Amino acid sequence: MSMSNATRREILRRATALSCVGAAASTFGFQLATMGSAAAQTSIGYKALVCIFLFGGNDSNNMVLATDNDSWGRYWSARRQGNNPIALMPAGTPATAPGGSNSVTGRVLPGGNAAYQFPEAWGGVLPIATLTPNPVPPGTDAPSRTFGLNPHLASLMPIWTAGRLAVAANVGPLIVPTTKTQYRNRSVPLPASLMSHNDQQSTWQAGSAEGARRGWGGLMADQLLANNGVNSVFTAISTSGNAVLLAGQNVIQYQMSTNQTNPAIRINSAISNNTSVYGTGGQGARVREIIRDTTGSSYFMQDYGAKVIRSQDSADLLNAQFATGGAGAVIPAPTQLLNPITRNNENNSLAVQLQTVAKVIAANQTLGIRRQVFFVSMGGFDTHDVQNTSQSPLMARLAHGMAYFDGALANVGGVDMRDQVTTFTASDFSRTFTTNGDGTDHAWGSHQFVMGGAVRGGDVYGQFPTIGVDVQNGFQNPNMLSNVLIPQMSVDQYAGTMGRWFGLSDSQVASIFPNIPNFTNRYLDFLAAPVA
């Protein structure tokens, strides 16, 4: 095999740089993988995947809704029940003012902010037009499907209209395509521990139940790690603590805070030469020398010192990008959000996490990074109770955060980065179609958002399911078990589609998602064809 001078130089450069990569660089296997990838790819454009994980199981039945008459009738019947009905108002319903009477339900709302806990106060769902018709599935009696979004997702409407936002319908963990009959007869293999929070969070992120050690985001990053040069420690970044999604064979996730001045965690006791140590002034420099010393005869000391050096230097490098004059300084702070229930302006923690991500993306040229995977999250979606007052602010925060991120990426130092960043949602599962009185319980298939310039937006991808619960001697829903949707798009297909856009080959995708060959359509069309 011949090798160009450029490739030889690239391999030598990476070989000498391995000590700066991170803890994973100490393995010989990592070195071989890195140099092998360097020989295959030495020039590649920037791309990033950003996962927004909705912890607790988001009720996507109240996030994206089928609004054709047949579907809406069954939705209204199932969710207009209990002490505090959770059914949203039909499209076109005006918001009811505090103390007013709603035109659909006839309910007179209380005065003041107490009115905003009721769906009548929010107005109707927001109609969305799709570029292509979503097929009418068996069991749905409608000439065509129409759709709407939760009224608190208004911030996403301009992104939908602009073609940068899509819906992936009825996604969930699957081993093989599964029908209602097959599930009941247990005639096909099923994912383990369905409807268990910890297990399904892990299955979404890593393909197996709690205890998994490698996630598909980290494994994707493994395949392209060599493109990230000496700073590949910044390949997989979480602003939300430890996430199995980012754990690769060689990639180790880099955890950051959302402090917009010094987000990278480092040893702070020796920052200044004048730092006092045990009452003795001016000892900071000496402490720094000690903890960074690699000259001793002890292998433990040498290895520990090398890792401290890498940690400190990486933190200093990243923090510099957030400082005045750093590449990330061009990213504006998010505005505050109006809480739809309390009616107070408040900071949006999701938007602040995405601000951190945008600043790191802005620094990609400085850091020499070509592929990155990010993990941010929101909690509070386990809405067994008081769903109206708990999910509504979450929907508003999600929309506000995503809209902020879309706007921030539109102008990164004069460059529109939206084509190079794909943002997607994920959650433990959706929730039961029927209400338990004022909330919902654990379910399975869920609808998700995908956002970015490479997204074929303005459409619903995958079969949007038939809506409604079975009626004895009457309506039978082929897509629903009792009141739980059976997914029709697997997480493997959902994630594999993003992996192919990210730059992975079919064989690399299959190595990460061994179940993906079980599905006729391995990839969905919500992302444009991959380009370097």
pLDDT at 23: 38
DSSP string, 375-396: EEEE-----SS-HHHHHHHHHH
DSSP string, 279-333: TBTT-HHHHHHHHT---SS-HHHHHHHHHHHHHHHHHHHHHHHHSTTSGGGGSPP
Question: Residue 355: CB partners within 8 Å, gap ≥ 6?
Answer: 258, 260, 331, 333, 334, 404, 408
Q: How confident is the model at residue 40 (pLDDT cuts 50, 70, 90)?
A: very low
pLDDT digits (tens, 9 = 90+) for 233-272: 999 999 999 999 999 999 999 999 999 988 986 655 445 6
Q: How far is CA 387 from CA 80, 177, 446, 448, in A?
A: 13, 31, 17, 19
pLDDT digits (tens, 9 = 90+) for 68-82: 999 999 999 999 999
pLDDT at 268: 56
pLDDT at 107: 96
Residue 316 has pLDDT above 90, yes or no: no
pLDDT at 172: 98
Question: 165-184: string of b/e by CB count within 10 Å (b at 16+)?
Answer: bbbbbbbbbbbeebeeeebe
Of the candidates 490, 465, 498, the one whose C-alpha atom is nearest the C-alpha of residue 171 is 490
pLDDT at 459: 98
Average pLDDT over residues 185-209: 97
Residue 399 has pLDDT above 90, yes or no: yes
pLDDT at 314: 86
Of the candidates 65, 60, 131, 48, the one whose C-alpha atom is nearest the C-alpha of residue 456 is 131
pLDDT digits (tens, 9 = 90+) for 111-167: 999 999 999 999 999 999 999 999 999 999 999 999 999 999 999 999 999 999 999
Range in 133-137, 211-215, 222-226, 302-306 the model is least confident about? 302-306
pLDDT at 15: 40
Q: How far is CA 442 from CA 135, 170, 381, 434, in A?
A: 27, 15, 11, 11
Distance CA(252)–CA(336), nearest Å, equals 33
Mean of all residue pLDDT scores within the chain:
89
Distance CA(250)–CA(240), nearest Å, equals 21
Of the candidates 427, 431, 425, the one whose C-alpha atom is nearest the C-alpha of residue 443 is 431
Q: How confident is the model at residue 273 (pLDDT cuts 50, 70, 90)?
A: low
Q: How far is CA 195 from CA 188, 242, 277, 516, in A?
A: 18, 22, 52, 22
Distance CA(358)–CA(132), nearest Å, equals 32
The answer to whether residues 319 and 395 touch, using CB atoms and an 8 Å cutoff, is: no
pLDDT at 272: 60
Range in 44-53, 297-306, 456-465 the model is least confident about? 297-306
The answer to whether residues 156 and 473 touch, using CB atoms and an 8 Å cutoff, is: no
Average pLDDT over residues 342-347: 98
How far from chain centre, in Å, is Cα 344? Answer: 27
User: Which tokens sit at 416?
Assistant: 């529109």
Residue 17 has pLDDT above 50, yes or no: no
Distance CA(352)–CA(359), nearest Å, equals 11
pLDDT above 70 covers a percentage of the chain that reads 86
Residue 282 has pLDDT above 90, yes or no: no
Evaluate the CA torsion angle 93, 155, 418, 394 in order and state its sign. negative
The answer to whether residues 54 and 381 touch, using CB atoms and an 8 Å cutoff, is: yes
What is the amino acid identity at position 169? Answer: A
User: Which tokens sit at 51?
Assistant: 């996962």
pLDDT digits (tens, 9 = 90+) for 359-380: 999 999 999 999 999 999 999 9
The answer to whether residues 30 and 241 touch, using CB atoms and an 8 Å cutoff, is: no
Of the candidates 98, 152, 475, the one whose C-alpha atom is nearest the C-alpha of residue 337 is 152
* pTM, entire model: 0.89
The answer to whether residues 419 and 48 touch, using CB atoms and an 8 Å cutoff, is: no
Distance CA(355)–CA(50), nearest Å, equals 12
Question: Alpha helix (H) ranges present in 155-295?
Answer: 157-161, 180-185, 197-206, 216-223, 284-291
Distance CA(360)–CA(195), nearest Å, equals 35
Question: Residue 194: CB partners within 8 Å, gap ≥ 6?
Answer: 173, 200, 429, 444
